[in-house]
Amino acid sequence: MSESSGISRAQVAVIYLVLTMAIASGIAIYSSATTFTALLKTATAGLFLPILLAMIVAFMLDPLIRQIEHYGIHRTLAIFTIYLIISATIIVLLVLIGPPNWRGMIQALKADVPRYVSFAIVYLTGLLELAQQHFPFIAEYHLGDHLRNLSQTLIGAILVQTPRSAMRFGSLLVLVPLFSFFFLRDSRRIMRGIIALTPNRYFEMVLDIYAHVSWQLSTFIRGRIIEAIIVGLVVWAGLALTDIRYAPLLAVIAGITNLVPYVGPIFGMLPGITIALVDLGIGPQFWWILCVYILIAQVIVDNMILIPILISKVSNLHPLWVILAIIMGGKLYGILGMIIGVPIASVINIIILEIRQYRRTFNPYNRYFSSRGKML
């Protein structure tokens, strides 16, 4: 420090110390923040699915509870009544039909999945060879190996995950009714509390927009779930007419994948088609199954009957957003994320559209902002 500037050695030392401390504390804050988010992530890891399912259950049960409330019954009592009816129905069904044979089903799946996958591999390799004859430049790609690896991981996952997922299923059985009970009972109060925080001059607008958005959202979610259930039931009924195995499981897959527009139904019918090809071969039954999946479930029931009735045009997403939502959802939460990515994107879409709609229809001359701005 031999420059002629007025900084003495002590001052340099102080500056040096301060800078070091600043950097150190910055790093400390940053690292503690990342550990904090990591902690938060670990703490909430298993909660995502139960909360999501509980919200869906709450949305589905709300109209029923409103019906009961009509008779002047307190909401809590109404919720308990609905819970009682549902659990009674499940118990009666279990007694009448008997509990499903989970063990047998899983054993059979363990044996059958490799068979189906190896068939698919043989079939796809054949296709690839055919393609290679016409387009020699794709010779490098070993599709068979890729698929074999994939199937091995899948089988391994089924073997390892079954007991674990049984435990998770048990916890869901406890958590989902509990969460949905509180959502049903207190969501109104919680939302009122949150809305009450808005400043006076935006309060009316926020209240109105919230009412619109929540109405749109509940119709949308209810519509999507009912649509998935009906499509699943139709697929089940159609498949039950044939000799195909795992009809209930395939119906569940078809129903759940139906939540994803455009792409979902295609992936939903792949397992069914594969099983039909392997077990039944190409024959009248195979064509019937194909017909059930595409023509009856998708074209007639879904596109011609359910979507016009249940889903409003408002919630239509552009196909590009659908694909983006699937990819991003998959990156975040795996297969679950792929399925729920699109509904969540639609929910965000509905919120944005409603706010824009509100501002356009309710403020035709943009008076809201100008008049308030002028007077205050």
Partner 1 sequence: MSSNPIWHNIFRHQAEKESLSYFLSQVPIFAKLTRRELAYLEKLIHIRNFEAHEMVFSGGDIGSGMYIIRSGQVQIFSQDADGREQELALLEAGDFFGEVALTASRPRSASARAATATSLLGLFRSDIVDATQRHPAPTAKILFGLNRVLADRLLQCDEQLERLQRASRTPQEPSHE
Residue 249: alpha-carbon gap to chain centroid:
19
Is-contact 328 315, C-beta < 8 A? no
> Residue 211, interface with partner 1 (CB under 8 A)?
yes
Q: Near partner 1 by CB under 8 A, which window of 18-26, 109-117, 206-214, 247-255?
A: 206-214
* Residue 349 CB partners (closer than 8 Å, separation 6+): 315, 317, 321
Q: What single DSSP character describes residue 317? A: P
CB-wise, 5 or 200, nearer to partner 1? 200
Inter-axis angle of helices 143-195 and 200-240, to 10 degrees? 140
Q: Near partner 1 by CB under 8 A, which window of 151-159, 322-330, 335-343, 363-371?
A: 363-371
Q: Which of 12, 66, 90, 295 binds partner 1 (CB under 8 A)?
A: 66
Question: What tokens appear for 193 in the block?
Answer: 């509390």
Output the smallest distance, CB 10 to partner 1, in A: 53
Q: What single DSSP character describes residue 70? A: T
* Residue 282 CB partners (closer than 8 Å, separation 6+): none
> Residue 219, interface with partner 1 (CB under 8 A)?
no
Decide: residue 157, CB within 10 A, 0-12 exposed, 13-18 middle, 19+ buried: exposed
> Residue 77, interface with partner 1 (CB under 8 A)?
no
Binding residues with partner 1: total (CB under 8 A): 24
Q: What is the 3-state secondary structure (H, E, C) of 245-259?
A: CCHHHHHHHHHHHCC
CB-wise, 103 or 374, nearer to partner 1? 374
Q: Near partner 1 by CB under 8 A, which window of 97-105, 144-152, 193-201, 240-248?
A: 193-201
Q: Near partner 1 by CB under 8 A, which window of 28-36, 67-75, 245-253, 279-287?
A: 67-75
CB-wise, 213 or 269, nearer to partner 1? 213
CB-wise, 132 or 187, nearer to partner 1? 187
Q: Which of 2, 41, 72, 163 binds partner 1 (CB under 8 A)?
A: 72
Q: Which of 14, 207, 229, 299 binds partner 1 (CB under 8 A)?
A: 207
Q: What is the 3-state secondary structure (H, E, C) of 106-144?
A: HHHHHHHHHHHHHHHHHHHHHHHHHHHHHCHHHCCCCHH
Q: Near partner 1 by CB under 8 A, which window of 38-46, 83-91, 149-157, 360-368?
A: 360-368
> Residue 192, interface with partner 1 (CB under 8 A)?
yes
CB atoms inside a 10 Å sphere around CB 43: 9
CB-wise, 205 or 344, nearer to partner 1? 205
First-to-final CA distance of the chain: 57
> Residue 201, interface with partner 1 (CB under 8 A)?
yes
> Residue 360, interface with partner 1 (CB under 8 A)?
no
Q: What count of Cα atoms within 13 Å lies in the side-chain half-sphere of residue 147?
A: 18
Q: Which of 149, 204, 240, 270 binds partner 1 (CB under 8 A)?
A: 204
Nearest 5 degrees, angle CA 239-CA 276-CA 145?
140
Binding region for partner 1 (CB under 8 A): 66, 69-70, 72, 192, 196, 200-201, 203-205, 207-208, 210-211, 362-363, 367-368, 371-372, 374-376
